[in-house]
A and B are shown apart, each in its own frame.
Chain A
Amino acid sequence: MNKVKESKNKMVIRWIIGAVCLLSVTGLILLRPLPFLFYHELPYLGFLSRAIYIIILACILSLYRIIKGPSGADRIVAIDILGIMIVGLCAVLTISTGRSWYIDIGIAWALQSFISTLALSKYLEGRSFDD
């Protein structure tokens, strides 16, 4: 009985911490756009900075899965997803800064992420003694 109560208290504390984190990040996205990295005569400045905030939030969620993955395959999936999302971040930075070499970084990152995912999955597969 006591154990059940303790676990319920822990659940309530975890829900409160998660709600506080989500509310603070949502407020950050809604209220404060990034003040740097931009040409300030663009009319759609707030939208692009909030887009960068949302992509960074998604990257943090994927980093949580990299840190706390129970097996190796979870970490490989999360690394793949992180690489694909950074390509999107490079595309948004291309619009917001007006410099076209960010999309070159995106292409190179996509290629490297694909090759590294294939190599890691081959390494994972080769450890079984099946064939």
Chain B
Amino acid sequence: MISIVGFIFISIGLTFDLLGCLGLVRLPDVYNRLQAATKCVTLGTCSILFGTFLVVGFNAAGVKALLCMVFLVLTSPVAAHAVARGAHRFGVQLWQGSVIDKYAQDKEGEV
């Protein structure tokens, strides 16, 4: 019975992965792509790993899956933040339809 719950978690994770990669292809800008892809794919992969823990059970592979999930939740926002900061400092332009750019205003106020 508990393995069926695990397979439901794996299905949710697969849906989030596929939609995140569709956003990575279709959106117009680096920052939009980062925002779509990182959140969706992180949540999807964490859901897949939790489903793996539910299916496999409380043994070595399941505990390693939980450890991998915690590690992904901790490190993926850090990597996304570093990529966005590096891209803005390198000078990648925003999309023309963008409304606001708070980071550039902040840097101007600094100088």
Contact = CB atoms under 8 A, between A and B. Distances in A.
Contact of B68 (A85, A87, A117): A87
Given A64-B25, A91-B68, 13 more contacts: A51-B14, A58-B21, A71-B30, A71-B87, A73-B92, A74-B33, A77-B37, A78-B24, A84-B42, A91-B45, A100-B56, A103-B61, A106-B65
A77 B38 CA distance: 8
B33 A65 contact: yes
Interface of A: 44, 47, 51, 54-55, 57-59, 61-62, 64-65, 71-74, 76-78, 80-81, 84-85, 87-88, 91-92, 94-95, 100, 103-104, 106-107, 110-111, 114, 117-118, 120-122, 124-125, 127-128, 130
B17 A94 contact: no
Interface string B17-53: 1101110110000100110011001101100110110
B83 interface: yes
A64 to B, nearest CB: 6
B49 A88 contact: yes
B89 A128 contact: yes
Contacts of A95: 52, 55-56
Contacts of B20: 58, 81
A115 to B, nearest CB: 9
B75 A81 contact: no
A88 B45 contact: yes
26 contacts: A44-B7, A54-B18, A55-B14, A58-B20, A61-B21, A61-B25, A73-B30, A81-B21, A84-B41, A85-B21, A88-B17, A88-B48, A88-B49, A91-B65, A91-B68, A94-B56, A95-B56, A100-B59, A107-B64, A107-B68, A110-B72, A114-B76, A117-B82, A118-B78, A121-B85, A124-B83
